[in-house]
Structure 1
């Protein structure tokens, strides 16, 4: 398909609530461009239009939770490393104390 500007169109995906996940042809130029040209996919059933936004919302919330948990895990790994070093040093000092007696 050719755009009104003469360039071949590109396929993009819309995530707007009315047409979530539906692909469309549009101008390849960055803004300002000729925008929407035509749909690639047929219209979705009403149930899909209702369900997909909720699934996307759940997915985004889960991804945020994963990011938060990964940050907590990195912080805990750093603390564990410090505690191992402190434990090793305490044993070293304990052994040195016993040897000096």
Structure 2
């Protein structure tokens, strides 16, 4: 395996692009975040045009579904708290009488 180095001489790391132009495409990058090197080189070959059209839509759909799941889980947790408090109130009211 060939060791790839950036312009500042450090061993490059592989990252994944999630932009619409290169969704899921891996690239080499300088390992120092926010360095002045700013070097990148592609690890993967370019994707076909059809992939460039389809993948961003699939990623957006997945992100929307994950958001909906999180909202549903938060709503479920809130309803569970309401149910517990309603039972506590119910028990307190009937124990007073």
**Does the pair score TM above 0.5?**
yes
What's 1:11 paired with? 14
Q: How does 1:49-64 map to 2 (within 5 A)?
A: 49-64=52-67
Tell me the number of residue pairs that the alignment of Structure 1 and Structure 2 aligns: 94
Whether 2:92 is the aligned partner of 1:89: answer yes
Structure 2 CA distance for partners of 1:20 and 1:36, relative to 1, 3 Å: farther
Structure 1's unaligned 5+ residue stretches are 95-101
Measure the CA separation in 2 of the matches of 1:56 and 1:78.
33
- Residues 64-86 of structure 1 show CA distances to partners (whole Å, capped at 9, x for unaligned) of 11121122111101100011112
Give the structure with the larger helix fraction. 1
Structure 2's unaligned 5+ residue stretches are none
Report which of the two structures shows the higher radius of gyration computed on alpha carbons: 1
Whether 2:72 is the aligned partner of 1:69: answer yes
What's 1:25 paired with? 28
